[in-house]
Amino acid sequence: MFAFTSIKEYHSFLASNPAGCTVAVKHYLGKIEENKHLNAYLEVFEADALQQAAQLDADRQAGKPLGKLHGVVIALKDVICYKGHKVGASSKILDGFTSIYNATATEKLLAEGAIIIGRNNCDEFAMGSSNENSAFGAVKNAIDNTLVPGGSSGGSAVAVQADLCMVSLGSDTGGSVRQPADFCGVIGLKPSYGRISRYGLIAYASSFDQIGIFSKTIDDTALVLEVIAGADNFDSTVSVKPVPEYSKELTTNKKYRFAYFKEALEHEGLDKEIAAQTKAYIETLKAEGHTVEAVDFNLLPYVVPTYYILTTAEASSNLSRFDGVKFGYRAELNKEDDLTALYKKSRSEGFGKEVQRRILLGTFVLSSGYFDAYFTKAQQVRRLLCDTTSEIFKGYDAIISPTVPTTAFKIGEKSDDPIAMYLADIFTVFPNLVGIPAISIPLFTHSNGLPFGLQLMSSHFEETTLLQISSMMMNKG
């Protein structure tokens, strides 16, 4: 029977198995079918994946040079374009829409021999923390099907958690990779803003959005990152900084300087046991010779409001293109309906409640009477956060915090209370506000039996440090 542990081991399996890629794809197709109830996939690209696998097996037999991700079976969140395949941001408004080009990340995966097995369910337009906002139903956490997997990239997290692919790509605007990774007990990386091209990623809030990676090992995260990161002529916000070979730079025996936010560990909304286990872990790090110090972060109460003002403003602008004319869904019209009615009906029927709420909120904070009070003020806070962050990284290699204040909650538990849902993002939105890389690694188990993670954040484009620390922490056993 096929079993996946890491890309490296899979590649040694392929060396002695002429039809190995096909074996792997068939394994995942079987697992996906068996676990349909989790609702992690919106669509499985069965025929294409089998065909890619057969081609890769043939290439290997013919002695052709093999890509870094040769035969690696990858799933994409339903916001990442794959040419000739449907993509819909889990929304009715993109009903029937087919990508006409590849996202740069997809292009790079394919160029290194990856196999794209399907597209994952998510919160509509990546707005949510529980995956209950999908137009195609909630995703279930594989550990306990009454629990949410987190969101918005819940399907991609569950796909890795439940062995429905080897690695998956999500997107992270305010925690959508790290938070579901935390709830599902897998690794979730959000790189620096500008590390991976956003070309072909359906936009939610363009100055925050970043493609992220779910996997079970840091080696795999590092390898996928080095493949998909880097300059791109199609995205002027992506950095031209050279991409290190992250996967070859993972081992160190350095002693690190960590900071943590006192306000975060003492936060009233933080589950007592998550706080206690995180504090105990800090003591372990100190005992191992690392420096761990508390730093003041009195801006913590402002991060969630700032995030929700700025992202909804950007979303209201980004989502204006979905008007019933250019893409996907168009409402049925009556004879007397004019163009405005076409827009109104298509958008009211095509967008779900949460997306509508955010478009309204974003339009409000950008409206002339309120622009200065909300949008400008939030931009000022963002600047303060950036300045504070630069100061902190003058003295520390990384900041540590819990990823989420609680473990996975019940499906339905918070769906009627958007404010409670937004507050759960308190620890994850900060790195997106300031553009730094952050990762959630599954280090802990709660007494309720559920996994939870530690969030690590490093300075801009210091993914190497982040991955080295993660590797050290995960391999301690």
User: Which residues in this chain contact ligand GLN in the complex, by CB under 6 A?
Assistant: 126-129, 152, 171-176, 204, 311, 425
Work out whether strand 398-402 and strand 257-261 pair parallel, antiparallel, or are unpaired.
parallel
CB of 309 to ligand GLN, least distance (A): 12
The total of other beta-carbon atoms located within 10 Å of residue 186's CB is: 27
Catalytic: which of 90, 99, 176, 215?
A: 176
Q: Are 429 and 303 in contact (CB under 8 A)?
A: yes
CB of 127 to ligand GLN, least distance (A): 5
CB of 44 or CB of 157, closer to ligand GLN: 157
Catalytic: which of 77, 108, 190, 414?
A: 77
CB of 22 or CB of 415, closer to ligand GLN: 415
CB of 75 or CB of 472, closer to ligand GLN: 75
Q: Tell me which residue has its CB nearest to ligand GLN.
A: 176
Q: 173: closest CA among 105, 236, 233, 123?
A: 123
152 is catalytic: yes
Q: 257: closest CA among 427, 393, 460?
A: 393
CB of 172 or CB of 219, closer to ligand GLN: 172
| CA pair distance 198, 195, nearest whole angstrom | 9
Work out whether strand 41-44 and strand 187-190 pair parallel, antiparallel, or are unpaired.
unpaired
Catalytic: which of 130, 152, 239, 415?
A: 152
CB of 254 to ligand GLN, least distance (A): 31
CB of 10 or CB of 125, closer to ligand GLN: 125
| CA pair distance 155, 89, nearest whole angstrom | 12
Q: Find how far residue 461's CA is from the centre of its chain.
A: 17
CB of 203 to ligand GLN, least distance (A): 11
Give the three-state DSSP class for 43: strand
Letter for the amino acid at 327?
A: F
How does DSSP assign 55-105, residue by residue? HHHHHHHTTPPPPTTTT-EEEEETTB--TTSB--TT-GGGTT-B-SS--HH
| CA pair distance 470, 438, nearest whole angstrom | 11
- Residues forming beta bridges with residue 402, ordered by sequence position: 454
CB of 71 or CB of 175, closer to ligand GLN: 175
Q: Are 89 and 96 in contact (CB under 8 A)?
A: no
CB of 425 to ligand GLN, least distance (A): 5
470 is catalytic: no
77 is catalytic: yes
CB of 247 to ligand GLN, least distance (A): 25
CA angle (190 as vertex; 234, 79 as ends), nearest 5:
55
Q: Which residues are annotated as catalytic? A: 77, 152, 176
